[in-house]
Amino acid sequence: MTTPAERVAELREQIAFHSERYFIEDSPVIPDADYDQLVKELLVLEAAHPELVVESSPSLRVGAPTSTAFSPVNHGQPMLSLDNVFDEAELREWSERLVKSLGRDDVKFSIEPKIDGLALSILYVDGEYSVAATRGDGRVGEDVTANVATMASVPQRLAGVTTTGRLEVRGEVYIDKAAFDQLNASLAKAGERLFANPRNTAAGSLRQKDPVATARRPLSFLAYQLVVLEGHDELASITGHDQALEALDRFGFSVAPTVQHVQGAAAMVEASGWFEAHRHDLPYEIDGVVIKATRLADRDLLGSTSRAPRWAIARKLPPEERTTTLLAIEVSIGRTGRATPYAVLEPVVVAGSTVSMATLHNQDQVRAKDVRPGDLVIVRKAGDVIPEVVAHVPSPGVIRAPEWQFPQVCPECHGALERTGEESDTYCTNPACPAQTREQIVHFASRSAMDIEGLGEQRVVQLLTSGLIRDVADLYALSIDSMQELEGLGQLSATALVEAIALSRAQPLSRVLIGLGIRHVGPVAARSIAATFSTMPELLDASSDDLAAVDGVGAVIAASVVTFMEDPENRTLLERLASSGLALREPEVTSTVAQTLVGKAIVVTGSLEGFSRDGAEAAIISRGGTSPGSVSKKTFCVVVGEAPGASKVTKAAELGIPVVSAEGFASLLETGEIS
């Protein structure tokens, strides 16, 4: 008979083995469900025998039951982006504008590293770790609570906080350079594929479906912002960013030790130069320096646009550029048929990762850059993500190849390539082009769409060439038996693939919309549309006016959706997807704030104490309401602040819409009722 201690040891070993296969090597040998079963059995045993729990147990690192998708989380306050400057002169100009609007030149600035990771917001309720969310679109992020719970640098309880209230700690999740190198070294030793760079590895690690996998990655968190949402009166005495960072440090967070607080623009520029000079001495990769007004009162005066605060700026450091040889120019065909030229390069390390291909965007760009096979070229990682060829380096005396010509036929189907009118892009005009079909299916299965694990480009090509599928709807008819003939696909992988496809049936409507690749419909529009119409039948009923009225959807997107939905072939595809059992519905958003204003349209006019314009709007939206710009019969109430717009107040009186004073706004937010 196996003793509980023996079984626990056995389970830990098996879990470690399988999570390595699954999450690090991307080649699982057992289906997800079996893996989950092992974790569950371990949890049950440990609960019954607490003496067997050890610190390294995967169970200790699991914050919540594993889920296949991340639920949406409304941020208590929007997570804004930063505006950029690219050199010292622009930085001086920014500070001059700031000094001018504040009317003082003794402005205090804080200068921080801009860590190249991903932003995270962590909600603490009464000092207890509660919800962690990625930035998402700034208003709604992804719920990564269970994953972040496994990170040692994120306290479960705020040290020394005894008062009640709700606050969000924001900062950057990253992998430091040494840990990244170590991770890759161990992969190299095992003969495994390496990770490309710390940022993407951190992002991928944070967004694992299983917290145990996140726990195995060396993620760190550095806090740079404290947002008090409610209560915690003692924190009201904080008047500057320096004090906020001290508080975060006291709570148990890491704060960048290199942060400097200085007075005056000249000192600020000098401090920002320090980071440029010491970029490579820092333990993590940075892509810039963030400069913030230190005093919170100054920040309030300066306010924010809907995109970024006016009180902060990112000084981007020059992206790293390298020279290498351009071996060839080739053309790839995308899911819309667009033919994109790209450079095949002698591999070169740029900004920390090896680059062997780089986009050349389109025909005009190739011409403009005058790059030809055999040239020495400058490669840059633009925006630090997509490598591009910047230019060729003239080599006097060397005879160059003739100018490169854009091909006239599609490299995949040999159909005609066409470039029409004003467009700079060239397209393959053959609707049956196998490259387009392939890319459409790959896109449908991709992480940002239906997220079908194990269905990458290679597998799609195999399924297409074997005739098992012709389009995305065919995926749902695949069986383990039908795939038996496929080379390199064993019983286990076939089972895993069929299960992954089956799981994708439950994906929310927004992901299906992304996956369909409707022109102009990106993730943001897809989520707004899905949140508004909830189900596919409702969406099919929507007119282009209905669609254009959705937040973030204009006439162009609306027309494109309607055109797509009216196309008979697309209709048939949607019907086949529905009869394949896809859910085609959008679940309700879970929120960290009480949803007191669901379905209520609240118009704000004039300024409200304690809120920026965007802040008041965001407070309404995060509680489930909407905040349109004009008063109509559908308006629930009009909130009137200082210096209101006369027309809105008159219109409200005309239509008999209730008016709420600035004082009544807080209770409206809290209760959803007019007091």
Residues catalogued as catalytic:
114
**Residues 224 to 243: which contact ligand IVH by CB under 6 A?**
224-225
Q: For residues 621 and 597, what is the distance between their CA atoms, to the nearest angstrom?
A: 8
Between 290 and 455, CB nearer to ligand IVH: 290
Minimum distance of ligand IVH from residue 80's CB (angstroms):
4
Q: Which is nearer to ligand IVH, 302 or 506 (CB)?
A: 302
Q: At what angle do helices 509-516 and 523-533 cross, to 10 degrees?
A: 140
Contact segment (CB under 6 A) with ligand IVH among 74-82, 152-160, 319-327, 582-590 equals: 74-82
> Which range, of 108-116, 355-363, 396-404, 458-466, touches ligand IVH by CB under 6 A?
108-116
- Least gap, CB of 113 to ligand IVH (angstroms): 6
From candidates 119, 169, 518, 530, binder to ligand IVH by CB under 6 A: 119
Strands 108-115, 260-263: pairing kind: antiparallel
The tokens 């309720």 sit on which residue? 125
Closest CB to ligand IVH among 260 and 493? Answer: 260
The smaller minimum CB distance to ligand IVH, of residues 284 and 427, is found at: 284
Q: Measured from the CB of residue 449, what is the shortest distance to ligand IVH in angstroms?
A: 24
80 forms part of the interface with ligand IVH (CB under 6 A): yes
C-beta of 141 vs 624, nearer to ligand IVH: 141
Contact between 290 and ligand IVH per CB under 6 A? yes
| Of positions 115, 223, 463, 638, contacts ligand IVH by CB under 6 A | 115
For residues 422, 428, 429, 432, the Cα torsion angle rounded to the nearest 10 degrees is -150
Judged by CB under 6 A, does residue 112 bind ligand IVH? yes
Q: Angle at CA 506, nearest 5°, toward 558 and 145?
A: 95
Select from 107-115, 181-189, 596-604, 634-642 the region that touches ligand IVH (CB under 6 A). Answer: 107-115
**Helix, strand, coil percentages for the chain (3-state, nearest 5):** 40, 25, 40
Nearer to ligand IVH, 80 or 345 (CB): 80
* Spatial separation of the C-alpha atoms in residues 393 and 391, rounded to whole Å: 7
C-beta of residue 382 within 8 angstroms of C-beta of residue 370: no
The residue number with the shortest CB distance to ligand IVH is: 119
DSSP 670: H
Q: List C-alpha distances in Å: 220 to 63, 75, 153, 253, 417.
A: 17, 22, 6, 10, 48
Q: Which residue has the tokens 């148990």?
A: 252
Exposed, middle or buried by CB within 10 Å (0-12, 13-18, 19+), for 127? Answer: buried
81 binds ligand IVH (CB under 6 A): yes
Which of these ranges, 79-87, 413-421, 443-451, 580-588, lies near ligand IVH under the rule CB under 6 A? Answer: 79-87
Which residue is listed with tokens 């333990």?
283
**Interface with ligand IVH by CB under 6 A: which range of 34-42, 306-314, 339-347, 555-563?**
306-314
- Residue 399: how many other CB atoms lie within 10 Å: 6
* 133 touching ligand IVH, by CB under 6 A: no
Of the candidates 39, 269, 312, 455, which one interacts with ligand IVH according to CB under 6 A?
A: 312
Stretch that binds ligand IVH, among 113-121, 334-342, 368-376, 568-576 (CB under 6 A): 113-121
The distance of closest approach from Cβ of residue 83 to ligand IVH in the complex, given in angstroms and rounded to an integer, is 8
If the CB atoms of residues 225 and 626 are measured against ligand IVH, the closer one turns out to be 225
Look at residues 621, 631, 672 and name the one whose alpha carbon lies nearest to residue 653.
631
- Is residue 309 part of the contact set for ligand IVH (CB under 6 A)? yes
Tokens (6 digits) for 493: 């992988």
Region 314-343 residues binding ligand IVH, contact defined as CB under 6 A: 314
Residues 28-65 as b/e (b if ≥16 CB within 10 A, e otherwise) read: bebbbeebeebbebbbebbeeeeebeeeebbbebbbee
Binding mask 480-499 for ligand IVH (x = CB under 6 A): --------------------
* Least distance CB 195 / ligand IVH (angstroms): 20
Residue 510: CB minimum distance to ligand IVH, A? 22
The span from the CA of 640 to the CA of 604, in Å, is 6
Cα separation, 322 vs 316, in Å, equals 18
Long-range contacts of the stretch 129-137 (C-beta < 8 A, 24+)? 129/154, 129/155, 129/156, 129/157, 130/592, 131/73, 131/592, 133/73, 133/75, 133/592, 134/70, 134/206, 134/207, 135/79, 136/72, 136/73, 136/79, 137/523, 137/524, 137/527
Q: CB 292 → ligand IVH: shortest distance, Å?
A: 7
CA angle 576, 579, 581 (to 5 degrees): 120
72-74 and 220-231 beta bridge pairing = unpaired
Distance of closest approach, residue 148 Cβ to ligand IVH, in angstroms: 15
Min CB(444)–ligand IVH separation in Å: 29
* Separation of alpha carbons 538 and 48, rounded Å: 49
**Helices 32-48 and 491-503: angle between axes, nearest 10 degrees:** 80
Amino acid at 241: H
Within 84-176, residue ranges assigned H as helices are: 88-102, 145-148
What's the min distance (Å) between Cβ of 170 and ligand IVH?
A: 7
Site for ligand IVH in 157-196 (CB under 6 A): 172
Indicate the residue among 204 and 606 with the shorter CB distance to ligand IVH: 204
Q: How far is the CB of 297 from ligand IVH (least distance, A)?
A: 16
CA distance 172 to 195: 20
Say if residues 289 and 308 touch (Cβ distance below 8 Å): no
Amino acid at 440: Q
Q: Given candidates 61, 75, 108, 114, which one binds ligand IVH under the rule CB under 6 A?
A: 114
Q: How many residues bind ligand IVH (CB under 6 A)?
A: 15
* 271 scored as a contact of ligand IVH (CB under 6 A): no
Q: Under the criterion CB under 6 A, does residue 82 sit at the interface with ligand IVH?
A: yes
Segment 205 to 224, residues that bind ligand IVH, using CB under 6 A? 224
Of 89-97, 109-117, 199-207, 397-405, which part binds ligand IVH (CB under 6 A)?
109-117
Closer of 509 and 618 to ligand IVH (Cβ): 618
Q: Which is nearer to ligand IVH, 290 or 355 (CB)?
A: 290
* Contact pick of 12, 18, 75, 135 for ligand IVH (by CB under 6 A): 135
Taking residue 392's Cβ as centre, other Cβ atoms within 10 Å add up to 18
Could you list the residues that contact ligand IVH (CB under 6 A)? 80-82, 112, 114-115, 119, 135, 172, 224-225, 290, 309, 312, 314
